[in-house]
Amino acid sequence: MQNNKQNSLREGTLFSFISASFKGISQVILIENAITGFIILIAITISSYYLGIIALLSSILGTLVGKIGGADEKSINQGLLGYNSVLTGIALALFLNGPYMWIVALAGSAVAAILTAAIMHFMKKTEIPILTFPFIILTWFILLASYKLKGIKLSTTLVPQDLTHWELNIAGEINLLDGIFNGIGQVFFLSDAISGILIFIAVFWAGRRFGFYAIIGNAIALLTSYFLGGEHTLIMLGLYGYNAILTILAVSAVFYSKHNRFAPLSGIIAACLTVPITAAISTWLLPYGLPALTMPFVLCSWLFLGSRRILPKL
């Protein structure tokens, strides 16, 4: 009888750990749902099997760091120690080269969980969610370290550019279907239509409200970037869409009060703002050869979520 209880306890603990790891993937898009995380993992793996492996291992490492470190079980089970690790692992796997790339990517994903815990502590009193800020800061620092450390090699896709010779290229037509599906795919650095469709399915699985907001956020980004004269290549790649999707989900669907009638409008305005902020941050980072990542999403979400402490009806 005792052995049966011990086996049941182990099975329950293992299931809980696996569920938390999948939620670590789903929490990237602010959703706590293991099935959603599993579908997203399939979408990543279809686009790139090695990115799928990195994403899963990174989430497991983030969750494991939380377990070993004695984090609150609720936070671990919600996947809150895993999502920054997932993004960090994927980003480093994409933007670094060399024989140590896997080691650096997985080590970075483990450190991301520690940094997540630290920033959660520092921001606890503000009641403002940390979102993907730990992932952004850690990834930028590791990519910059590659200029001084021989063991960390930067990918040729990231090249510092001189702003004095920068030219805006708005030539060519826009394929809206590419922009639609790449927008949500770029949350996980994917530019693949099938993967984008699967991620939309994953979001709708968690709730129709999440799915509709994701569609609205993507549409807003496409329209705003087009009318502001954004580069057509960047629009089609979804590089203006993913921050808008995350922002409208945060402001209108996740961190809002049921008594706030203006939350949908606030989310729409915030999603619009991500476009010029994405352009500004991308320009600011050109001399360093760094990607904007999800910083526009973090800044726009903090702007509205922070203002609600003073303007609760916003």
pLDDT at 225: 92
53 & 185 share domain: no
Beta bridge partners of 96: 154
Of 158, 191, 218, the domain-final residue = 158
120 & 42 share domain: yes
225 & 93 share domain: no
232 & 104 share domain: no
82 & 131 share domain: yes
pLDDT at 274: 97
Q: What is the mean pLDDT of each run of 10 residues along the chain (314 residues)?
A: 48 83 97 97 96 97 95 94 97 92 95 97 93 97 93 87 77 74 93 93 96 95 92 89 96 84 91 96 93 97 93 81
Residue range of the domain that includes 288: 159-314
pLDDT at 233: 85
Nearest to 246 by CA among 40, 96, 29, 12: 29
Q: Is 312 left (phi over 0), alpha (psi -120 to 50) or beta?
A: alpha
Show the CA angle centred on residue 112, arms to residues 123 and 9, nearest 5°.
95
How many angstroms separate the CA atoms of 183 and 229, rounded?
Answer: 17
203 & 140 share domain: no
183 & 144 share domain: no
Q: How many domains does the chain have?
A: 2
How many angstroms separate the CA atoms of 239 and 80, rounded?
Answer: 25
Of 124, 158, 192, the domain-final residue = 158
Nearest to 201 by CA among 33, 79, 54, 78: 33
